[in-house]
Amino acid sequence: MKKLLSLLFTASVLSCSYTLINYDLSLSEVERPADFTERYGKPVIHKFSENDTTKYQFEDSLIRITFTANTKQFEFILENKTEHSIKVPWDEAAIIGGNGASMRVIHSGVKYIDKEKPQSPSVIAKNSHKFDLLCPVDNISFSGSLGWMIAPLITKADIGQTVQVLLPIEINGIINEYLFRFKVNDVLVKEMYY
User: How far apart (Å, rounded) are the C-alpha atoms in residues 76 and 57?
Assistant: 9
Q: Which residue did the predictor score with more confidence, 33 or 155?
A: 155
Q: Where are the domains of the chain?
A: 22-188
194 pLDDT exceeds 60? Answer: yes
Alpha-carbon distances, residue 161 vs 82, 154, 181 (angstroms): 34, 10, 10
Encode pLDDT of 138-182 as tens digits: 999 999 989 999 999 999 999 999 999 999 999 999 999 999 999
Mean pLDDT of 102-117: 96
- The confidence band for 51, taking pLDDT boundaries of 50, 70 and 90, is confident
Assigned CATH for 22-188: 2.60.40
User: How far apart (Å, rounded) are the C-alpha atoms in residues 161 and 114?
Assistant: 30
Closest alpha carbon to 28 in 165, 152, 133: 165
One-letter identity of residue 143: S
Mean pLDDT of 101-112: 96
